[in-house]
Amino acid sequence: MSSSRHGGIGMTSQRTRLRMIERLRGQGIRDEVVLAALSEVPRHIFVDEALASRAYDDFALPLGFGQTISSPYIVARMSELARSGGTLGKVLEIGTGCGYQTAVLARLAKEVYSVERLAPLLAKARRHLREVRIAHIRLRHGDGLLGMPEAAPFDAVIMSAAATHVPETLLEQLNVGGRMVLPMASNREQRLCVIERTMQGYTEKKMDQVKFVPLLPGVG
């Protein structure tokens, strides 16, 4: 860790972050708890140093290994949908990537579990999360499609890679009243999808059009 990472951009990042929050409000993010969480997590720590000056712009950024870091809007939107105005106990994230969404979730939930299939990315996320001193997160190298049955049930499951079908195993790990937020891919588009577990079964809502990397089976 270089000191410039905490000085230079770190010093100005609070102001840049507040601008980002104003932009997210303008883009329709309404949940103040989510906005507060995004204002507290230094996003520039999670992106490669060469990209740090773009960290607060509303872009998905390259993460290495052909993966991308979700844009601030997507992270805020998925968090807002997962929370749905309530409080979150346990949350499961599939696709840790750089760990930014994980860090935001840690501000919104009591316990966060996150699974990543690429070991080098998980190592990166672990470094970032240590740097911003966020605890109460369990990271695991593995296939997120299996979920984490030993930690289930979850109040929310957030998937950061696009699936072509809803993974049953993950639905089974939801609490009643819990929500799964995931990008679902069809032939021509991807849409954010919110599936809620009810006493009777599941309800499904299709939301914003999005663009995520595909969910891949197994570990890399």
Nearer CB in complex with ligand SAH: 13/114 = 114
The one among 21, 161, 170, 194 contacting ligand SAH by CB under 6 A: 161
In 3D space, the residue among 116, 95, 98 whose CA is nearest the CA of residue 48 turns out to be 98
Which of 4, 13, 70, 160 is an active site residue? 70
| Binding residues with ligand SAH: total (CB under 6 A) | 24
Question: Considering only 49-57, 142-150, 172-180, 199-207, which stretch makes contact with ligand SAH by CB under 6 A?
Answer: 142-150
Q: Is 70 a catalytic residue?
A: yes
Which residue pairs from 167-175 have beta carbons closer than 8 angstroms and sit at least 24 positions apart in sequence?
169/145, 170/92, 170/94, 170/145, 171/195, 171/197, 171/202, 172/147, 173/92, 173/147, 173/148, 173/149
In 3D space, the residue among 84, 130, 138, 136 whose CA is nearest the CA of residue 110 turns out to be 136
Residues in 12-71 at the binding interface with ligand SAH, rule: CB under 6 A: 63, 67-70
Binding mask 76-115 for ligand SAH (x = CB under 6 A): ------------------xx-xx-xx-------------x
Nearer CB in complex with ligand SAH: 54/176 = 54
How far apart (Å, rounded) are the C-alpha atoms in residues 156 and 81?
9
Residue 146, classed as helix, strand or coil, is helix
φ, ψ dihedrals at 85, nearest 5°: 80, -5
Residues in 170-209 at the binding interface with ligand SAH, rule: CB under 6 A: none
- Please state the closest distance from residue 32 (CB atom) to ligand SAH, in A: 22
Residues in 112-131 at the binding interface with ligand SAH, rule: CB under 6 A: 115-118, 121
Question: Considering only 10-18, 138-146, 173-181, 197-205, which stretch makes contact with ligand SAH by CB under 6 A?
Answer: 138-146
Nearer CB in complex with ligand SAH: 119/176 = 119
* Per-residue DSSP letter, 219: -
How far apart (Å, rounded) are the C-alpha atoms in residues 145 and 124?
21
In 3D space, the residue among 193, 139, 141, 140 whose CA is nearest the CA of residue 162 turns out to be 193
Identify the residue whose tokens are 């969910």.
215
Q: Which residues have a catalytic role annotated?
A: 70
Which residues contact ligand SAH by CB under 6 A? 63, 67-70, 94-95, 97-98, 100-101, 115-118, 121, 143-145, 160-161, 213, 215-216
